[in-house]
Amino acid sequence: QVQLVESGGGLVQAGGSLRLSCAASGRTVRSLTLGWFRQAPGNEREFVSGISRSGAGTVYADSVKGRFTVSRDNAQNTVYLQMDSLKPEDTAVYFCAADLAFVSDLRVAKEYDYWGRGTQVTVSS
């Protein structure tokens, strides 16, 4: 069983930065496929970023390319989402997701078996 705990959310002005953390238990992050998703009120869950188990490849939604960076720290057993140049439309609850097996498409939420409970990010204009 994998347990995921997100942290690092908060209130920030537009143009500012936040770093989200997802601490994993039960498995090493190097053995996991990991993804970040977000959901704003009234919206569907949206893919943000993912990092593959094999090859350490990364994928980003078009809306965050050039602004967000996903990374994995094996020593801390944590995956991070560095968010720069934040915009009000980035406001959402951000979720960390993980899977033990190969994920054919990192962008698809149903590919992931384990989820954190989310951390709120609010960006003011």
Q: Choose among 42, 88, 48, 89: nearest CA to 65.
A: 48
Burial (Cβ within 10 Å: 0-12, 13-18, ≥19) of residue 121: buried
- pLDDT at position 103: 87
User: At residue 13, does pLDDT exceed 90?
Assistant: yes
Cα separation, 8 vs 106, whole angstroms: 23
Name the nearest CA neighbour of 112 among 24, 21, 43, 19: 24
The per-residue pLDDT for 55 is 59
- Determine which helix (DSSP H) or strand (DSSP E) holds 99, and give its type and residue range: strand 92-99
DSSP state, residue 53 = S
Report the pLDDT value the prediction gives residue 82, as an integer from 0 to 100. 98
**Given this model, what pLDDT does residue 101 score?**
86
What's 111's DSSP letter?
A: G
Cβ atoms of residues 23 and 7 within 8 Å: yes
Residues 18-76 pLDDT 10s:
999 999 999 999 899 999 999 999 999 999 999 998 756 899 999 999 999 999 999 99
The pLDDT value given to residue 54: 72
Query: Are 29 and 72 a contacting pair, CB within 8 Å?
Result: yes
pLDDT per position as a tens digit, 65-118: 999 999 999 999 999 999 999 999 999 999 999 999 888 899 999 999 999 999
